[in-house]
Amino acid sequence: MEYLCLIISFLSHLAELLSACFTVLFTVQRYSAVRYPLQAAVQERSSPIIHLVLLFIISVTFCAALSHSNTYIDCHEELKLSWFIADALISFIIPFSLILIYNIFIVNLIRKHARSPFNIQSTLVKSNRHVKN
């Protein structure tokens, strides 16, 4: 029963952490696509896979340490204060802040390009003409 509680706690923390991290990763990738549209179109496919694998390994390590260092009473996890703060920072505060900041950057870039006489589409059309010639 104790190992089942440990596994459930580990998987719960892992799902929480990976959900936040994947959302941050996709937001950063979306910002990159808006900021550098031509580079995003030709970016290698292996780079996101490497990032996902590294993120998974780091998350598993953190969640394993978190699950093993806390006590369980009737399959209810009692987090130590230091782990509670670390979990809150890594799973909520830092991801939320990064998502907010990058989405503000995206909105500002879109507004800037919407006001400029040369929007993203006209830039892409011109660059395609140069490539064809």
Domain count within the chain: 1
Question: What's the rounded Cα separation, in Å, for the pair 88 and 84?
Answer: 6
Q: What pLDDT, in 10s, does the model give residues 86-132?
A: 888 988 999 999 999 999 999 999 888 777 666 555 555 555 555 55
Question: What's the rounded Cα separation, in Å, for the pair 8 and 14?
Answer: 10
What residues make up the domain containing 26? Answer: 2-132
Q: Could you tell me the sign of the dihedral formed by the alpha carbons of 59, 61, 64, 70, in that order?
A: negative
Q: How much is the pLDDT for 128?
A: 54
CB 27 within 8 Å of CB 98:
yes
For the record, the structure tokens of 68 come out as 């093993």
Q: What pLDDT, in 10s, does the model give residues 32-86?
A: 888 887 776 566 655 667 777 887 888 888 777 776 666 666 666 677 788 788 8
